[in-house]
A and B are shown apart, each in its own frame.
Chain A
Amino acid sequence: MKSRREFLKTAATGAVLLGSQSKLGMAGMLDQHSGTARSKVVVARDAGLHGTGAQLEEKRVLALLDRAIASYTGLDNPTVAWKRIVPVGKVIGLKVNGLGGKGISTHAALVLAICERLQQTGVKPGEIIVWERDARSLQACGLTVNTDPSRIRVFGNDVAGYEDEAVAFGTIRVKLAKILTRECAMVINLPILKDHELAGVTFSMKNMYGVVQRPFELHANGCNPAVADLNCIPAIREKVRFTIGDAMTSVYEGGPGFHPERLWQPNALIVGEDRVAIDQIAWHMIARKRAEAGVPTLEEAGRPPHYIATAADQAHRLGTNDPARIHLMEV
């Protein structure tokens, strides 16, 4: 296990930096160390996650999560590591994705594993909100709605509603979910890796479509620049600070809905703070799988995820899509 001194040393050389904006401070890092800093993205895999059948071996998910977090933070003790990620005494949101329906939604096993570690870190059950658009989407993840504040809360925007006042950035004007604006101090983003009929790829940044009232209005032009603009909305940019992406199961073509004939099991979690770098890595994973399966590239299909480069441009500065500035750790 690394000491705090070693951890900070690693951070100073560009892997993870404790900043003022967040506990891990990636946004700050890119600004302060422009040209030298690299965004760390961990891809943790377990080839045995699905065993011999298609069923996920849920008991292995916690071990995979621990490995991913240990690699990201450099801290082997999960409780110590999680204390570097989340503030204790504040409400933590876990934004899942159940849009594709049962079979291609964030796995409940991952949600439960994170909740277990959060509670061991000192976060009270009532300070955890697992959240999506509505009850049906939560159900697709294998979760049941609960609004009892003495337990882990699980509910959707259909219960909590949206702000009356719209907020704007660039080309978009949206009404945000009250769960984001009023309830959560920090949000951990738990998207699921998918091909997307319009955007090309949906993962970290695109999962924020579940945070607004009328997401379908943001689909023009392959969701570009809407995805990047949306992630620049201050409440999203500042609160959604960490991604634990579910790439245990994915759909590489025909998404974002459930297409069993195009299902694929990367058996991976993708972890990091730089949402742009994470999406860039996700795109490459899907591209590799599409090549292997003999389906056209996303460029050939006319839907490369242009929004990723947009998110990295000077007008957005959400992170980096430059492979040379991404420190990819595959463990």
Chain B
Amino acid sequence: MKFKSNWKWAIAAIVIFAAAAGTGCKKKGTDPFPASGAIAGWEKTSETRTYAAKDLYQYIDGDAEQYISAGVVSTSTSDYKYKGQLEATVDVHTMANAEGARKIMETGTKDAKPVQLGDAGFAYAQSIIFRKGTSLVRIVAYESTPDTPQALLELARGVEAKL
């Protein structure tokens, strides 16, 4: 009888654990792209497109291999516009582990300025790259204006907050 009761508790615990894990999964799948107006001046101008690793060549053929070898699971991308003029693209690469994100970040940041974003971040005049856990985020602007660096940083912070 006592054994039966313990068994019921064990099943209940498994159900609760599974529910919690499910909630965790949902959080991981949360859209990291700020909606229009969520970041002052920024408007989201396209639907989010998501590519699994095997389809990444459709988005960044030629560049895809370095992400695949670093363990990319999927890449999501969306376009933005700042104050109706400055266009930018946000790419969020979800890697299998944090090491993969670190590996990509290590390439080509020699002349970049470190910025406080996620686990590590770097800024150029027209782009920002940062990693947070298994996420690697790259934001590029298509024009260099006096506002560009600060505007990109604010958008990056908006993405970071949603990761």
With contact pairs A103-B140, A103-B142 given, residues A260 and B124 touching in the complex (Cβ less than 8 Å): yes
Chain B residues in 8 Å Cβ range of A215: 57, 61
In the assembled complex, the CB of B151 is this many whole angstroms from the nearest CB of chain A, namely 14
B64 near A216: Cβ-Cβ < 8 Å = yes
B62 near A256: Cβ-Cβ < 8 Å = yes
The number of residues on chain A lying at the interface, defined by a beta carbon within 8 Å of a beta carbon of chain B, is: 25
With contact pairs A54-B144, A101-B89, A216-B57 given, residues A197 and B63 touching in the complex (Cβ less than 8 Å): yes
Query: Complex formed: what's the CA distance from A101 to B77 in Å?
Result: 12
For A201-237 the 0/1 string (1 means CB < 8 A from B) is 0100000010000011001000000000000000000
With contact pairs A253-B108, A261-B111 given, residues A99 and B142 touching in the complex (Cβ less than 8 Å): no
Chain A residues in 8 Å Cβ range of B64: 216
A258 within 8 A of B: yes
Query: Complex formed: what's the CA distance from A257 to B107 in Å?
Result: 14
| Closest partner residue, chain B, to A209 (CB atom) | B61
In the assembled complex, the CB of B66 is this many whole angstroms from the nearest CB of chain A, namely 6
With contact pairs A54-B144, A253-B108 given, residues A99 and B125 touching in the complex (Cβ less than 8 Å): no
Among A241-275, those with CB < 8 Å from B are 253-262
Which of A54, A256, A260 has the most B CB atoms < 10 Å from its CB?
Answer: A260
Which of B57, B61, B108 has the most A CB atoms < 10 Å from its CB?
Answer: B61
A196 within 8 A of B: yes
A197 near B62: Cβ-Cβ < 8 Å = yes
Query: Complex formed: what's the CA distance from A254 to B60 in Å?
Result: 12
B43 within 8 A of A: no
From the candidates B63, B65, B142, name the one contacting A102 in the complex (CB within 8 A).
B142
| Closest partner residue, chain A, to B89 (CB atom) | A101
Query: Complex formed: what's the CA distance from A319 to B106 in Å?
Result: 39
Query: Complex formed: what's the CA distance from A276 to B46 in Å?
Result: 39
In the assembled complex, the CB of A254 is this many whole angstroms from the nearest CB of chain B, namely 6
From the candidates B61, B62, B112, name the one contacting A261 in the complex (CB within 8 A).
B112
Q: How many pairs, one residue from A and one from B, have CB atoms within 8 Å of each other in the complex? A: 59
B127 within 8 A of A: yes
B63 near A256: Cβ-Cβ < 8 Å = yes
Query: Complex formed: what's the CA distance from A101 to B60 in Å?
Result: 9
From the candidates B58, B65, B112, name the one contacting A197 in the complex (CB within 8 A).
B65
| Closest partner residue, chain B, to A134 (CB atom) | B58
Chain B residues in 8 Å Cβ range of A259: 108, 127, 140
For B114-146 the 0/1 string (1 means CB < 8 A from A) is 000000000011110000000000001111100
Among B11-37, those with CB < 8 Å from A are none
A198 within 8 A of B: yes
From the candidates A134, A199, A202, A260, name the one contacting B140 in the complex (CB within 8 A).
A260
B160 within 8 A of A: no
Query: Complex formed: what's the CA distance from A288 to B111 in Å?
Result: 20
B61 near A260: Cβ-Cβ < 8 Å = no
In the assembled complex, the CB of A160 is this many whole angstroms from the nearest CB of chain B, namely 17
From the candidates B61, B87, B112, B126, name the one contacting A99 in the complex (CB within 8 A).
B61
Query: Complex formed: what's the CA distance from A216 to B112 in Å?
Result: 31
A260 near B125: Cβ-Cβ < 8 Å = yes
For A118-138 the 0/1 string (1 means CB < 8 A from B) is 000000000000000010000
Query: Complex formed: what's the CA distance from A197 to B65 in Å?
Result: 9
Chain B residues in 8 Å Cβ range of A255: 62-63
From the candidates B60, B108, B144, name the one contacting A260 in the complex (CB within 8 A).
B144
Query: Complex formed: what's the CA distance from A124 to B16 in Å?
Result: 70
A196 near B141: Cβ-Cβ < 8 Å = no
Question: Which 5 A-B residue pairings sit nearest by Cβ, starting from the closest?
Answer: A260-B126, A216-B57, A261-B124, A256-B62, A257-B63
Q: Taking beta carbons and an 8 Å cutoff, which residues of B are in contact with A? A: 57-58, 60-66, 87, 89, 108, 111-112, 124-127, 140-144
Residue pairs across A and B with Cβ atoms less than 8 A apart, 11 shown, are A102-B87, A134-B58, A196-B62, A197-B66, A219-B65, A257-B60, A258-B142, A260-B124, A260-B141, A260-B144, A262-B108
